[in-house]
C-alpha cells in the first residue's frame, strides 16, 4: 500500500494570490538587455523592442506580476534618466553589476509596455537609498496622474496619454544593505515619510505600498520596522503599508563559495533542498512578529526575492550572475511554491530572482536562441494554483537526506480552482527511491485525472545545443480506483501536476 496523500476538499484555507507566482527583472547582466529587450532595430523578432519568443513563453507560463528595476539597482536608479528621446537619455556605468554601460534605453515606458504585452501586473521599486522624496513623488505622478500637472504633461509629451496602473510600489530595496545601510528605526521613519508622497491619484487605492523587510532571519529588522512604521491608527491604516518584503536565497554552500549550478554531488542535492525548506521557518517567525501588530493579516508578506544562488557559469562576467538551471532548481521551486501556497494567509506575493539570464531564471537566451529551464516548467505546471482556493492536505512522508541535511521525501500542495477542479502539485525529493502513493479525498471520488511530470537526473539541464533534455511530459503512471482514490508511482527526482475532476 502506498503512502497516503489526504485531501480535505471541504476545508478551503484561503485564496492563493496569483502574485505568489511573480517574477523579478533587474538591470543586471543580460536580464533586461538581451533577455527581454533587444530594441526595435534588432534582427531578433520583437514588438516595440521586446523579444517575441520570450514574451510568448512567459504568457504561456501565465506570469502574473513583474518587479523592476531592482534589486540593488533600484536605489541607484533615477527614473528621469530613462524617459524621453532615446538618443538624449543619460549613459552611465552600472556600478553595482559588472561595471557595464547603461544607456537607459529601457525605462518607465518600456517597462510598462512589457507588462502590457505580458498581460501582467506592474511592481515598480522606488529609490530611497539615493533618491529624494520629491523624485519618488514625481515618479508616481508621472505614471499614474490623469489630470493636468507637470509630470502628467511630461508623460504625454513622451507619447503616453493615459496614466498607467502601478499595482505595487516598493519604498526602497534592501535598505539594510545595498539600499543605504540603514538601521531599521531610521528606515522605518523614512518609510513613513516617503510613502506619504506615494499618492493615490486613481482614487481607487490602485497602488499597494511595499515596505522593505528583512534579509533571511533578521527578526530584529522586522520587529523594529513594524514598531516604527506601522500606523496604529485604524483610519490611517488603509494604504499605509500593504506589504512587507522578505529576501531569502538558497545558497548550497557559503556566500564566498556558493557551489556550481551543474556540477554537484548527492550530498549537495540534499543540503540545497534542506536549505530551501528553511523558508518555512522564516515565514513562521517573521509572520509571528507581523501578527503582533497586524493580527488580521492585512499586510502581505512579499517574498520579492527568492531562488537558488550559485557561482556564475565559468568564463562569464562575475557581476552578471548568470547560472545554469537543473532538476535541483526545479525541486527548490517545487518546495518553495508549495510552502508559499500553504502560507497564503500571510504570503501575498513572491518574486523569483530573476526572470531571464540571472540567478534562478525561467528562461536563458544566447543571441537569437532561447531555452526554457526546468524552473520554467515548474511554474507552468503550477499556474493552475493562481487565484485558486488552498485545500487542506496532508502527505505521509519519510525523512531522507545525507550528512544531517534531512528533508521529507514528498512536498505537496493542493487547491481547487473556480470550476471545482482540484490541482495537486507534488515532488519526490529522493534521488533514488520511487514513491508509491494513494490520493484520497474526504468525500469526493476522482472521476477524471490528467497529469504531467518533469523528471531527469539530478543535474539534468537544457543547453542551447540540447534545449529539450528536461521538459514537461504527460504522466500516465497512475490508476483511479473503484473507490475514487488515485494510486500513483512517483519517480525519484520528479515534479508532478495532477488535475482532478471529482
Query: Given CA atoms 282, 285, 289, 290 in this order, what sign does their dihedral have?
Result: positive
Span between the terminal Cα atoms of the chain, in Å:
22
Taking the complex as a whole, the smallest distance from the CB of residue 28 to ligand AHR amounts, in Å, to 6
Q: Does 26 bind ligand AHR (CB under 6 A)?
A: yes
Query: To the nearest whole angstrom, how small is the minimum distance from the Cβ of residue 171 to ligand AHR?
Result: 14
Tell me phi and psi for residue 268, to 5 degrees. -60, -40
Q: Which is nearer to ligand AHR, 326 or 354 (CB)?
A: 354
We find the least distance from the C-beta atom of residue 321 to ligand AHR, in angstroms, to be 6
Q: Which of 31/337 has CB closer to ligand AHR?
A: 31
CA-based radius of gyration for the chain: 22
- DSSP type of residue 19: G
**C-alpha cell read off for 362:** 525561467
List the one residue from 70, 184, 259, 401 that touches ligand AHR (CB under 6 A). 70
Indicate whether 69 belongs to the interface with ligand AHR (CB under 6 A). Answer: no
Per CB under 6 A, 173 contacts ligand AHR: yes
Nearer of residues 354 and 428 to ligand AHR, judged by Cβ? 354
Under rule CB under 6 A, residue 71 binds ligand AHR: yes
Q: Residue 41 and residue 301: Cα distance in Å, rounded?
A: 41
List of E strands, 417-493: 422-428, 435-441, 448-455, 473-474, 478-480, 486-490
| Nearest residue relative to ligand AHR (C-beta) | 71
**Residue 8 or residue 316: which is nearer to ligand AHR going by CB?**
316
Residues annotated as part of the active site: 174, 305
Q: Does 304 bind ligand AHR (CB under 6 A)?
A: no
Please identify which residue in 7, 54, 72, 498 interacts with ligand AHR, judged by CB under 6 A.
72
User: Which of 70-78, 163-171, 415-423, 480-488 is the region at the interface with ligand AHR (rule: CB under 6 A)?
Assistant: 70-78
Tell me how far, at minimum, the Cβ of 395 lies from ligand AHR, in Å.
Answer: 32
Give the H or E element holding residue 59.
Answer: helix 52-60
Q: Is 29 a binder of ligand AHR (CB under 6 A)?
A: no
- The piece of 65-73, 140-148, 238-246, 291-299 that touches ligand AHR (CB under 6 A) is 65-73
Among 9, 174, 412, 440, binds ligand AHR (CB under 6 A): 174
Q: How many CA atoms lie within 13 A of 383 on its CB side?
A: 15
Give the number of residues in contact with ligand AHR, rule: CB under 6 A: 10
Q: Is 99 left (phi over 0), alpha (psi -120 to 50) or beta?
A: left
**Which position among 349, 353, 414, 500 is part of the footprint of ligand AHR (CB under 6 A)?**
353
Would you count residue 66 as binding ligand AHR (CB under 6 A)?
no
Q: Which of 305, 438, 440, 472 binds ligand AHR (CB under 6 A)?
A: 305
Using DSSP bridges, classify how beta strands 121-125 and 168-171 pair: parallel, antiparallel or unpaired: parallel
Assess 175 for contact with ligand AHR (CB under 6 A). no
Angstrom distance (rounded) from CA 169 to CA 350: 14
Cα separation, 140 vs 123, in Å, equals 12
**Structure letter (DSSP) for residue 87:** G
Is residue 214 at the binding interface for ligand AHR, with CB under 6 A as the rule? Answer: no
Q: Whole-number minimum distance, CB 97 to ligand AHR, in Å?
A: 8
Angstrom distance (rounded) from CA 426 to CA 491: 11
DSSP string, 263-331: S--HHHHHHHHHHHTHHHHHHHHHHHHHHHH-TT--SEEEEEEEEE--PPPTTS-GGG-----BHHHHH
The rounded distance, in Å, linking the Cα atoms of 22 and 63 is 6
| 268 vs 305, beta carbon nearer ligand AHR | 305
> Partners of 473 in the beta sheet?
453
Of 10 and 95, nearer to ligand AHR (C-beta) is: 95
Nearer to ligand AHR, 352 or 470 (CB): 352
Where does this chain bind ligand AHR (CB under 6 A)?
26, 70-72, 173-174, 305, 353-354, 359
Amino acid at each position: 500500500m502506498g503512502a497516503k496523500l489526504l485531501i480535505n476538499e471541504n476545508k478551503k484555507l484561503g485564496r492563493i494570490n496569483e502574485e505568489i507566482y511573480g517574477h523579478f527583472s533587474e538591470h543586471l547582466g543580460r536580464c533586461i538587455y538581451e533577455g527581454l529587450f533587444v530594441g526595435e532595430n534588432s534582427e531578433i523578432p520583437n514588438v516595440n523592442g521586446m523579444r517575441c519568443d520570450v514574451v510568448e513563453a512567459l504568457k504561456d507560463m501565465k506570469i502574473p506580476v513583474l518587479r523592476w528595476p531592482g534589486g540593488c539597482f533600484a536605489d541607484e536608479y533615477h527614473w528621469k534618466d530613462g524617459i524621453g528621446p532615446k538618443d538624449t537619455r543619460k549613459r552611465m556605468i552600472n556600478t553595482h553589476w559588472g561595471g557595464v554601460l547603461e544607456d537607459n534605453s529601457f525605462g518607465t515606458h518600456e517597462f510598462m509596455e512589457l507588462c502590457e504585452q505580458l498581460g501582467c501586473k506592474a511592481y515598480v521599486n522606488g529609490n530611497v537609498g539615493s533618491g529624494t522624496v520629491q523624485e519618488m513623488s514625481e515618479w508616481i505622478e508621472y505614471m499614474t496622474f490623469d489630470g493636468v500637472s507637470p509630470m502628467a504633461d511630461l508623460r504625454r509629451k513622451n507619447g503616453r496619454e493615459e496614466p498607467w496602473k502601478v499595482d505595487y510600489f516598493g519604498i526602497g530595496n534592501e535598505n539594510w544593505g545595498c539600499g543605504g545601510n540603514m538601521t531599521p528605526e531610521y528606515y522605518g521613519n523614512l518609510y513613513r515619510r516617503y510613502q506619504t508622497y506615494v499618492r493615490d491619484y486613481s482614487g481607487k487605492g490602485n497602488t499597494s505600498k511595499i515596505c522593505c523587510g528583512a534579509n533571511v532571519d533578521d527578526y530584529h529588522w522586522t520587529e523594529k520596522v513594524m514598531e516604527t512604521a506601522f500606523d496604529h491608527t485604524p483610519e490611517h491604516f488603509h494604504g499605509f503599508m500593504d506589504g512587507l518584503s522578505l529576501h531569502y536565497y538558497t545558497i548550497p554552500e557559503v556566500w564566498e563559495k556558493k557551489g556550481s549550478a551543474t556540477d554537484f554531488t548527492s550530498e549537495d542535492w540534499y543540503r540545497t533542498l534542506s536549505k530551501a525548506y528553511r523558508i518555512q521557518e522564516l515565514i513562521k517567525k517573521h509572520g509571528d512578529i507581523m501578527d503582533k501588530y497586524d493580527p488580521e493579516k492585512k499586510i502581505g508578506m512579499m517574498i520579492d526575492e527568492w531562488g537558488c544562488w550559485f557561482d556564475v557559469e565559468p568564463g562569464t562576467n562575475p557581476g552578471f550572475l548568470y547560472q545554469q538551471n537543473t532538476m535541483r532548481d526545479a525541486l527548490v521551486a517545487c518546495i518553495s511554491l508549495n510552502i508559499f501556497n500553504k502560507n497564503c494567509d500571510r504570503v501575498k506575493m513572491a518574486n523569483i530572482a530573476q526572470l531571464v539570464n540571472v540567478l534562478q531564471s525561467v528562461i536563458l537566451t544566447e543571441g537569437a536562441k532561447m531555452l526554457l529551464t526546468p524552473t520554467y516548467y515548474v511554474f507552468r505546471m503550477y499556474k493552475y494554483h493562481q487565484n485558486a482556493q488552498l485545500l487542506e492536505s496532508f502527505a505521509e512522508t519519510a525523512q531522507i537526506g545525507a550528512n544531517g541535511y534531512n528533508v521529507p521525501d514528498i512536498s505537496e500542495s493542493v487547491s481547487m480552482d473556480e470550476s471545482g477542479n482540484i490541482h495537486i502539485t507534488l515532488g519526490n525529493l529522493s534521488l533514488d527511491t520511487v514513491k508509491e502513493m494513494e490520493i484520497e479525498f474526504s468525500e469526493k471520488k476522482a472521476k477524471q485525472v490528467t497529469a504531467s511530470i518533469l523528471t531527469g537526473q539530478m543535474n539534468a539541464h537544457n543547453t542551447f545545443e540540447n534545449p529539450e533534455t528536461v521538459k514537461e511530459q504527460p504522466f500516465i503512471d497512475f490508476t483511479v480506483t473503484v473507490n475514487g482514490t488515485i494510486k500513483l508511482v512517483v519517480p525519484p527526482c520528479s515534479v508532478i501536476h495532477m488535475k482532478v475532476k471529482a
